[in-house]
Amino acid sequence: MKIQDNPYYKKLLKDPWSYTSGAVILALLNIGLLASTGKAWGVTTPFSYWGAWIYKVLGGNPESWFYFQQKAHAEAIKAGFWMDAHSVSNLGIIFGAFLATLLASQFKIKKIKSWKQVVAAIIGGLLMGYGARISFGCNIGALFSGVASMSLHGWVFMIFIFVGAFIGSKLLVKYFM
């Protein structure tokens, strides 16, 4: 029997999971991360550490910046990449998404349709990254962990995600598609 014919392979790796299955797995991962690290799940703060570590390798001194003088951030920068559980989990997310795409035979390198879309993607990425840093969280840290802990900020964030998605989709269709 070929692996492609195995019903478990098809159900777990080829077919899309239900929203309920995904939600339960994310909730269990969130609980596990909170239990093992003592911190809520977050994605964007480790990216600031990655930038600081790269800047250090290039000869910079991010430790002199106010942000990295805060106790938790200073400790994370000093400890390094492999000692920061959230950096390791981010790496796992990146490689896990890539592996899932490969296993589902969905990996494709697509031709760029227009430079307008490239510009829109770059501007959108920069705005999302900037917004995530100034709000101290992305949809994982501010929304998912916020709602899971019944914090008001998570619910407010949810409302404005929908508002932002609505406005962003209108702008995208009008100017970039």
Q: What is the pLDDT of residues 96-141, one digit of tens each?
A: 999 888 887 788 888 888 888 888 889 989 988 888 888 777 888 8
**Rounded to the nearest 10 degrees, what angle do helices 71-79 and 44-57 cross at?**
60
Which amino acid is it at 100?
A: A
Locate 130 and state its tokens: 């900037």
Q: What is the pLDDT of residues 77-108, one digit of tens each?
A: 999 999 999 999 999 999 999 988 888 778 88
End-to-end CA gap in the chain: 46
Q: What is the pLDDT of residues 13-55, one digit of tens each?
A: 778 888 999 889 988 988 888 888 888 888 888 999 999 999 9
Give the Cα separation of 168 and 81 in Å (integer): 34
